[in-house]
Copies of this chain bind each other. A is one copy, B any other.
Amino acid sequence: MAESEYKVKTIEWQGDEVVMIDQRLLPLEEKYIHHRTWQEVAESIRTMVIRGAPAIGVAAAMGMALAAIQSPADSYEELKRDLDTAAEGLFATRPTAYNLGWALEQQKQLYAEPDEVEAIRERLKQRSQEILDEDIAMCRAMGEHAAPLFPAGARILTHCNAGALATAGYGTALGVIRSVFARDPSIHVFVDETRPFLQGARLTAWEREQEGIPCALITDNMAGYFFKKGEIDAVVVGSYRIAANGDVANKIGTYTVSVLAKAHGVPFYVAAPTSTVDLGVPDGDAIPIEERDAAEVTHFHGNACAPSGVAVRNPAFDVTPHENVTAIITEVGVHREPYVESLAEAKKGK
């Protein structure tokens, strides 16, 4: 469906290969990596060739399909064993992203009952393509729901990359911005560079260039300056996992932005599909936070920018408490406090 409109191909099937753009090299290089095994997909998720919760979900679903294709099994039992191994390996790659587990569950349901191995192989591949197509449709729906929330000429801050690259092709937070921009070309976007991985500088700024949305790139620590000067009217970010009470895990630095937004009376919106909402965790304290390698902080593109051997902390995510969240936008609609009720309703509505 609509993904062909977008110049950015995050992930797609080419024959029996899963092809991803290497997001670590953007914007300096556009290189595509071909995956023939679930192990290769797991490695690409782990090393952030692909990132963004919805995109990770699609990658995991496709990884399961690859596992089915690569498995030499000719009995249901053998295939199930290979697929369970793949599911476990894929699940272990990124602990915070809920869509990862959600997508794996989607695939597991398709081989829960004994069936012909070839039928299961086809079903997993087909379902992974559906998850990709559905993701784009959900992102577009979020954009439609969210667009009326923004005033004319809105100056919008976003953090990290919740764009086409973070999803199957349209974007959650950046999808919302695209939808607002389609109605009102006078908007302006502040893009946090988003250290340490620089998803904002490298990916969001690059996507924005493809789409022609006016923006200014800033370092993360400049957001406060522009809030104080009254130059930011709204914030919109994506999410890796949303707890039942509306607490939002997202890329490190999101919490700080939410504190700034609250201190300056600026609305703070989260855009994410219902597949990011985890009713199984009551609040943010129960969301596992991944700590990543120190080298992400001490190096940039392989070049050291700190004394060797310096101690580092590198939490990849933080939790924004629901009190700081003005509304959560899913493909179902716009949800507000009390989130315990509105999110449960949204998941049911799905």
Contacts and interface: CB of A to CB of B under 8 A. Distances in A.
A306 B205 contact: yes
A305 B198 contact: yes
B312 A225 contact: no
Interface stretch (A31-39, A54-62, A187-195, A271-279): A187-195
25 contacts: A28-B304, A193-B305, A195-B220, A195-B221, A201-B305, A209-B307, A216-B312, A216-B313, A217-B298, A217-B311, A217-B313, A218-B297, A218-B314, A219-B253, A219-B297, A220-B221, A221-B221, A221-B252, A221-B253, A222-B253, A222-B313, A226-B313, A259-B259, A300-B305, A303-B303
A202 interface: yes
A303 B306 contact: no
B221 A192 contact: yes
State the oligomeric state as a number of copies: 2
A220 to B, nearest CB: 4
B297 A301 contact: no
Contacts of A226: 313
Contacts of A28: 304
B252 A318 contact: no
Nearest to A319: B228
A118 B198 CA distance: 55
Contacts of A159: 221
A275 to B, nearest CB: 25
Given A219-B297, A221-B192, A312-B218, A202 B305 contact: yes
Contact of A225 (B219, B252, B298): B252
Nearest to A198: B305
Contacts of A300: 198, 300-301, 303, 305
Interface string A277-290: 00000000000000
A215 interface: yes
A255 B314 CA distance: 22
